[in-house]
Amino acid sequence: MVNPSAPGSSAAAVDLSLVKELDSAFRNLDPRGRLSLLRERVAGPLVFTTSFGLEDQVLTHWIAGAGLAVSFVTLDTGRLFPETHAVWAATEQRYGIRVRAFYPDTVSVETLVAAQGIDGLYASKAARVACCTVRKVAPLGRALRGAAAWITGLRADQSAARAGAAFVASDSVHGLLKANPLLDWTRGRLAEVAAAENIPVNRLHARGFLSIGCAPCTRAVAPNGAERSGRWWWEEESGRECGLHLTPDGRLVRAGAAS
């Protein structure tokens, strides 16, 4: 079992046999079954991080509908779209939940902006990664503190890098189990569920914004364009990640791996 009292301490906090068991079991279940099994098998707090994109809205619908004991959290970077805040409010009202926000450290943001300017993230990948680290990666560490497992909306078809992700893996960075219950789902299937269930979605999706993050780093995607091609478009296509799903050496964690 996961040791919820020692989050982030080491990969040893995660029972790799449980990781392998769940990763295998997920393959024969639908996402709702995966969520239920995760809650049943993992002792300790489960945290679901949402950015209010299509995947996250469907997961919220299923988690709230099943009454699962899962905490909803989000990372408010200070540079989100107004439309993201709007769907955040609509989600809380629809499901009677509170999505806890984690914000970047004020001094760290002030230091970052003083060093690189308000839009210095465009100057280089290193500058952009520094911004993501302050505004997203550091707050995520606080959001996951004390958690036994982290639920994400990551899908294998979102990018080449994510195609190698596992259903369930050991996240050595945070010392917990990481679950991706939508890994084998497509955007089309999620859109069908959202429409059929009248799930609140970000209005920017209808304007071609398929993957939505911070406003300076997100733009609409051309028709038939890759889903994440509107994120950090000024950089090389490979490795377009903010750092939330990466190990320190820049890799996505895999099933049964300690890193």
- Does residue 164 lie in a domain region? yes
Q: Stretch 78-87: mean pLDDT, rounded? A: 98
- Give the β-pairing of 46-49 and 100-102: unpaired
Question: Which positions are annotated as active-site residues?
Answer: 242
- Does residue 35 lie in a domain region? yes
Q: Stretch 70-95: mean pLDDT, rounded? A: 98
- Does residue 234 lie in a domain region? no
- Does residue 249 lie in a domain region? no
Q: Does residue 98 register a pLDDT over 90?
A: yes
Say what the pLDDT of residue 230 is. Answer: 86
- Does residue 216 lie in a domain region? no
Specify the pTM.
0.87
The pLDDT tens digits of the residues spanning 188-210 come to 999 999 999 999 999 999 999 99
- pLDDT category of residue 238 using cuts at 50, 70 and 90: low
The pLDDT tens digits of the residues spanning 29-47 come to 999 999 999 999 999 999 9
- Does residue 253 lie in a domain region? no
Structure tokens at 105: 């450290």
- Does residue 248 lie in a domain region? no
Q: Stretch 175-185: mean pLDDT, rounded? A: 96
> What's the rounded Cα separation, in Å, for the pair 85 and 83?
5
Q: What's the total number of domains in the chain?
A: 1
- Does residue 218 lie in a domain region? no
- For 120, phi then psi, to 5°, come to -65, -10
The CATH number linked to 165 is 3.40.50.620
Q: Which of 18-32, 68-82, 225-239 has the lowest mean pLDDT?
A: 225-239
The pLDDT tens digits of the residues spanning 209-230 come to 999 999 999 999 988 888 878 8
Residue 178 is part of which domain span?
A: 11-204
Q: Please count the other Cβ atoms lying within 10 Å of the Cβ belonging to residue 125.
A: 14
